[in-house]
């Protein structure tokens, strides 16, 4: 087995969304702990904020790459500039984290052009010189691993062994204080429990109907002595505001109110989180808050990792399913049977089992 014990300056490429970086963080921590090295994370601009919660990352390069599904417009000079930046950094090695439906080769080409001598990833085809440490890609045709386990297995290939396999985050006290101030300003009674409902999604196919969120919130307020906090990003504030206006008493809209570290603190303070399958799920798991996940059947490897969670799956409409043939294979094999949306009664049963 090749080992990287002499590597002291490692680049990690995970250029996707916040949830992806959180799921890769146990493997990044294993690199840090095993090699006592400097870690630089190359990730997307929207995701870079989450690094404030990950003390194992020493530096961040935030850039939106043209082979990743993001909202940014791309130009060739951005990649050319990035290659120059990576050359100057003189990295000893590079790890490329992917899901099984992604190719590591564009990122591998980037690392190769930057002269990074050791390059590690899963790969479906022979990468020849682009990757000199690699694992043949067997997912999803032979097996599907949880994403955290997949990433841990990748770095173990070069000698990085995890002391702790959970997703963890570091929340500073000032973030907790800031959340308390903001919640009290909204009129939330911090001596009473509250439940966070997170309706926002990064992809349309993961949406859970807005009217169902409203119905669920009203039912919880009727049956439980609690308050409802609707959470979301700034772009999702219109949804959280609408839901707050419809649910009325003891409900609060916080769309766009919190930084990522404050949002993690909010989840830590809440008695329960209910969310679609998005980064919120992995943050709630990291802060050990009980969780109900309304899980559109898209990525079976992204279930909550080592957390106290109830997962309620449902099918997605054929018209909005991915066109990626690897994902379509998974859909045909694992999601052939139609599952209706969880009813409010189904969700309430899950909530009551955790209350």
Domain 173-354 architecture? 3-Layer(aba) Sandwich (3.40)
Task: Calculate mean pLDDT across residues 294-315.
Answer: 96
Q: Would you identify the CATH topology of the domain 9-156?
A: Rossmann fold (3.40.50)
CA distance 77 to 93: 24
Statement: residue 12 has pLDDT above 90: yes
Q: Bridge partners of 228?
A: 195, 251
The mean predicted confidence, pLDDT, of the chain is 95
CA distance 344 to 216: 6
HSE on the CB side for 137, CA within 13 Å?
20
Cis peptide before 348 (omega within 30 of 0): no
Which tokens sit at 201?
Answer: 């999604």
pLDDT by residue (tens digit) across 66-92?
A: 988 766 666 788 899 999 999 999 999
Are the folds of 9-156 and 173-354 the same?
Answer: yes
pLDDT of residue 1: 65
Exposed/middle/buried for residue 178 (C-beta within 10 Å: 0-12, 13-18, 19+): middle
Could you give phi then psi for residue 195, rounded to 5 degrees?
-115, 135
pLDDT of residue 74: 66
Could you give phi then psi for residue 129, rounded to 5 degrees?
-75, -10
Statement: residue 320 has pLDDT above 90: no
pLDDT of residue 2: 80
Which pairs count as long-range contacts for 256-259, CB under 8 Å and 24+ apart, including other chains?
256/232, 257/182, 258/179, 258/182, 258/231, 259/49, 259/52, 259/175
pTM recorded for the entire structure: 0.96
pLDDT by residue (tens digit) across 229-278?
A: 999 999 999 999 999 999 999 999 999 999 999 999 999 999 999 999 99
Which tokens sit at 98?
Answer: 């992917």
Least reliable range by pLDDT among 69-73, 223-227, 287-291, 320-324:
69-73
CB 106 within 8 A of CB 79: no
- Give DSSP secondary structure letters for 318-343: GGGS---HHHHHHHHHHS-S--PPPP
CB 325 within 8 A of CB 283: no
**Structural domain boundaries in the chain:** 9-156, 173-354
Task: Calculate mean pLDDT across residues 212-238.
Answer: 97
3-state secondary structure of 136: strand
pLDDT of residue 71: 64
pLDDT of residue 73: 64
For residues 204-236, one letter each, b for 16 or more C-beta atoms within 10 angstroms of the residue's C-beta and e for the rest, the string is: eebbbeeebbbbbbbebbeebebbbbbbbbeeb
């Amino acid at each position: 087995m090749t080992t990287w014990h002499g590597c002291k300056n490692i680049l990690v490429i995970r250029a996707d969304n916040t949830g992806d970086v959180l799921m890769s963080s146990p493997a990044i921590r294993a690199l840090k702990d095993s090699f006592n090295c400097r870690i630089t994370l190359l990730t997307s601009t929207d995701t870079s904020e989450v690094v404030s919660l990950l003390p194992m990352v020493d530096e961040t390069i935030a850039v939106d790459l043209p082979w990743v599904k993001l909202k940014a417009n791309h130009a060739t000079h951005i990649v050319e500039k990035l290659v120059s930046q990576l050359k100057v950094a003189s990295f000893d090695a590079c790890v490329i984290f992917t899901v099984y439906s992604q190719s590591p080769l564009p990122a591998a080409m980037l690392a190769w052009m930057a002269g990074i001598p050791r390059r590690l990833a899963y790969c479906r085809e022979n990468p020849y010189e682009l990757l000199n440490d690699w694992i043949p890609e067997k997912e999803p045709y032979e097996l599907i691993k949880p994403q955290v386990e997949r990433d841990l297995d990748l770095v173990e290939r070069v000698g990085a062994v995890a002391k702790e396999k959970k997703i963890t985050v570091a929340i500073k006290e000032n973030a907790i204080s800031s959340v308390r101030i903001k919640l009290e300003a909204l009129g939330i009674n911090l001596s009473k429990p509250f439940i966070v409902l997170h309706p926002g999604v990064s992809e349309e196919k993961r949406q859970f109907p807005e009217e169902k969120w409203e119905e669920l919130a009203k039912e919880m307020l009727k049956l439980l002595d609690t308050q409802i906090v609707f959470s979301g990003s700034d772009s999702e504030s219109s949804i959280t505001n609408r839901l707050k206006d419809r649910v009325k008493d003891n409900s609060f809209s916080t769309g766009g109110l919190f930084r990522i570290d404050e949002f993690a603190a909010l989840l830590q303070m809440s008695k329960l989180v209910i969310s679609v399958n998005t980064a919120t799920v992995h943050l709630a798991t990291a802060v050990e808050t009980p969780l109900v996940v309304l899980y559109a059947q898209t990525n079976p490897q992204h279930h909550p990792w080592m957390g106290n969670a109830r997962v309620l799956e449902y099918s997605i409409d054929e018209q909005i399913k991915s066109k990626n043939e690897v994902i379509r294979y998974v859909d045909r094999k694992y999601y052939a049977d139609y599952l209706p949306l969880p009813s409010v009664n189904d969700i309430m049963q899950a909530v009551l089992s955790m209350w």
